[in-house]
Amino acid sequence: MSFTRKFNSLAAASGADLATTSDIVTDAMTAFGMAADGTSKVIKDGLEVEVSNTARFADVLAAASNNANTNVEMMGESFKYVAPAAGALGYSVEDVATALGLMANSGIKASNAGTALRTLFTNMANPSDTMANAMENLGVSLEDDEGNMKSLAQVMQDLRDGFGSLKIPQEE
């Protein structure tokens, strides 16, 4: 499917006009460092295939808005705030859309979600002493043991594990 038809389908499904939908996709793609005329390798039906970046991003937005309590315009608003930080850290659009969808399901949407996630990323990437101590106590890091960036999915799992095993001191 051509990206024009993909944008038309996404716009129709979201109820937004084509210009707004195109802006959302292209602005967020740019922030992630994805060229509109480029391609990405993705896993589809168990096989690695090459798809256009615009089709990939439109599919991600459609899936997120269909599977979470959000819509394409709110996802675009979220991406406006978080995409530059997420892109700089090398996180995938799929992982960021999943995080934003989970936040939307909890009532944190649009600019609030994008700002909160961006703040998390920037605080973890350049932590204050307090933040570094908290990350150490939780056993959370953006890098693996070999110094490679962890995926956002892995960082989120580490946060889940860290908070899940957190012991709160009891008053005596």
pLDDT of residue 91: 93
Rg (CA), the chain: 18
| Composition of the chain by helix, strand, coil, percent to 5 | 65, 10, 30
pLDDT of residue 39: 85
pLDDT of residue 43: 78
pLDDT band with cut points at 50, 70 and 90 for residue 42: confident
pLDDT band with cut points at 50, 70 and 90 for residue 171: low
Above 80 in pLDDT, residue 48? Answer: yes
Report pLDDT digits (tens) over 106-164: 999 999 999 999 999 999 999 999 999 999 989 999 999 999 989 999 999 999 999 88
pLDDT band with cut points at 50, 70 and 90 for residue 70: very high
Burial class (CB in 10 A: 0-12, 13-18, 19+), 39: middle
Report pLDDT digits (tens) over 76-95: 999 999 999 999 999 999 99
Give the three-state DSSP class for 29: helix
